[in-house]
């Protein structure tokens, strides 16, 4: 076999490995920093699934008083958490289907803008797809009939050949 064939096999194995592992990933972590002008309120929205978990952690990094008002609202509009003039906070919500709104409010300040950092951790965000769904895309060719273990072994072997013969 020539080296170009091995490169194709390596790419195929890595793509398949990434897609299979991504199906099992259940936690998403994102963080943001933004400037909240004085006298303003900024709201963000996060779509959630039932039986998942939304955790938000925030901190005022800069601005007079290092404080901000904060609240989280459910998809039905119910206020779940309400913080007044706090410099930081951590809240976790067991979710239902729908869009959750969380707002940072600096309307109490006529002069000072705030720099706010927040992090979202979304747990149990699995899709409705069966983790075995990838099998329906695998068809009858010899290469595609390999088991995942065979692909991982092949990936190790191919990487060895590619890297030792370059």
The confidence score (pLDDT) of residue 4 equals 44
Output the CA–CA distances (angstroms, integers) from residue 56 to 51, 95, 120, in the order listed. 16, 13, 5
* pLDDT tens figures, 75-120: 999 999 999 999 999 999 999 999 999 999 999 999 999 999 999 9
Question: CB neighbours of 74 closer than 8 A, spacing ≥ 6?
Answer: 80, 93, 96, 98, 100
Q: Note the helical H segments in 62-164.
A: 148-164
Nearest to 50 by CA among 92, 120, 91, 98: 98
Claim: this prediction has a pTM higher than 0.75: no
Domains present along the chain, CATH in parentheses: 3-24+129-164 (no CATH), 28-123 (2.60.120.380)
Half-sphere exposure for 11 (CA within 13 Å, toward CB):
6
Half-sphere exposure for 53 (CA within 13 Å, toward CB):
9
* pLDDT tens figures, 152-162: 665 555 544 44
* pLDDT tens figures, 14-49: 444 444 444 444 678 999 999 999 999 999 999 999
Please, are residues 120 and 93 in contact by the beta-carbon 8 Å criterion?
no
């Amino acid at each position: 076999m020539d080296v170009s064939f091995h490169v194709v096999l390596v790419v195929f194995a890595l793509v398949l490995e990434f897609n299979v592992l991504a199906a099992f990933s259940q936690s998403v972590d994102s963080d943001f920093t933004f400037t909240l002008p004085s006298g303003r309120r900024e709201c963000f929205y996060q779509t959630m699934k039932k039986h998942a978990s939304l955790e938000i952690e925030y901190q005022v990094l800069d601005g007079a008083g290092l404080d901000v008002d904060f609240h989280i609202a459910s998809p039905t509009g119910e206020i779940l958490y309400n913080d007044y003039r706090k410099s930081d906070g951590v809240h976790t919500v067991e979710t239902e289907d729908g869009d959750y709104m969380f707002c940072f409010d600096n309307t109490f300040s006529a002069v000072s803008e705030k720099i706010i950092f927040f992090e979202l951790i979304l747990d149990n965000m699995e899709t409705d797809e069966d983790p075995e769904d990838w099998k329906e895309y695998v068809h009858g060719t010899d290469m595609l009939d390999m088991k995942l273990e065979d692909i991982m072994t092949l990936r190790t072997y191919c990487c060895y050949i590619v890297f030792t013969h370059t």
